[in-house]
Amino acid sequence: MPRILMTGASGGIGTSLRKLLPPIYPDLLLSDIKPPADLGANEKFKAADLADLAQCEAICEGVDGIIHFGGYSVEGPWDDILQANIIGGYNLFEAAYRKGVKRVVFASSNHAVGFYPRHHKIGTDVTPRPDGRYGVSKVFGEAVGALYADKHGLKVTCLRIGNFGDLPLDQRRLSIWLKPDDLVQLCRIGLEHPDIHFEVFYGASLNERAWWDNHRAYEFGYRPTGRAEDFREHAMAEQAKLKPDPVGDHYQGGAFCSNEFDGDASRIIDWTKR
C-alpha cells in the first residue's frame, strides 16, 4: 500500500479526514505544526513547521503521495500567510520533488476566484480573482503546483474547496457545499488516477445552485453523493438570521470580499459587464 502524507492534520478538514482515510490508505502519516489533541495510539504523526524546508523534507521521506491541507486556513495578516502558505507551500512542493514523491493533492480554495459575481458561472480556466491575502496564497499554490508538474513531472491536483462540512449552513453554501465523503473521492482521483498531470477541480458536491463548471472532475470519474438542496430549508432558515452584506452577497467569496473592502463598489461590482 502507498504511504500517504496528510498535512494540516489538526485542522477542521484534517480532523474529519483522519477518520475517513485510514480504511483506504492504512499507511497514513499525519503532520501539523502541533499534534491533534485527540491523536490516537494507532495514528502515525510527525510534527513539522512548513516554513522550514528541512522539516518538510523530513515528513516527505518515504512518501508516495501527499494531501496538503496544512497552512493558514482563513484570512489573516500577511506575515502569517506568507510564512505558512507562500513559503510553506513552496517548501512542500520542493520537498516532495527532492524526496521523490509522485503525487500531490493541493488544497486550494474558492477564494482564489472569490471576486467573480455569483451570477457569473465560471470554470477552472478563468483568470484568478482572489478576494484577500489568503486567496492570493492559494493562487500562488496552484501556480507552484503547475510549475512542479510541468518542469519536474510531479502529478498535481488542485482542489478549489468550497465549504466543507456535514451540511450547507446558509444560502451561499447551498452553491459551494462539499460533503466530506466527496472530498475523499476527489483526493483519491488525485492520488490514484493514471491520467493526472496537472488538474484544477472545484471541491463541491452535487449543488444545483453551483456557480462553478466542474466538468473536468466529472471527466476523471468524480460522482459526488452530497446534494445541497436536501438541506435547503435549514440553510435558508440560517440565512434569515444574517445581516445583509451588499458587497459579500454579490460575490462568490462572500464575507471575504467585503472584509476590509473600501473600493468603488459600483465600479468593481460591474467589472464583468464592461
Q: Which residues are catalytic?
A: 134
First to last CA, the chain: 53
How many Cβ atoms from other residues are within 10 Å of residue 214's Cβ? Answer: 22
Of the candidates 230, 138, 137, the residue with the CA atom closest to the CA atom of residue 179: 230
Query: For the chain, what's the residue count?
Result: 274
Reference 90, options 113, 61, 64, 68; nearest CA is 68
**What is the spatial distance between Cα 104 and Cα 107, in angstroms, rounded to a whole number?**
10
| Sequence-distant (≥ 6) Cβ neighbours of residue 146 within 8 angstroms | 156, 198
User: What's the angle, vertex CA 243, arms to CA 241 and CA 230, rounded to 5?
Assistant: 45
Q: Determine the Cα–Cα distance for residues 173 and 186; give it in Å rounded to an integer.
A: 19
Q: What is the DSSP letter of 67?
A: E
- One-letter amino acid at 190 equals G
Strand 155-161 relative to strand 44-47, pairing = unpaired
Alpha helices in the chain (DSSP H): 12-20, 53-60, 78-81, 88-98, 133-152, 173-176, 180-192, 215-219, 232-239, 255-258, 265-269
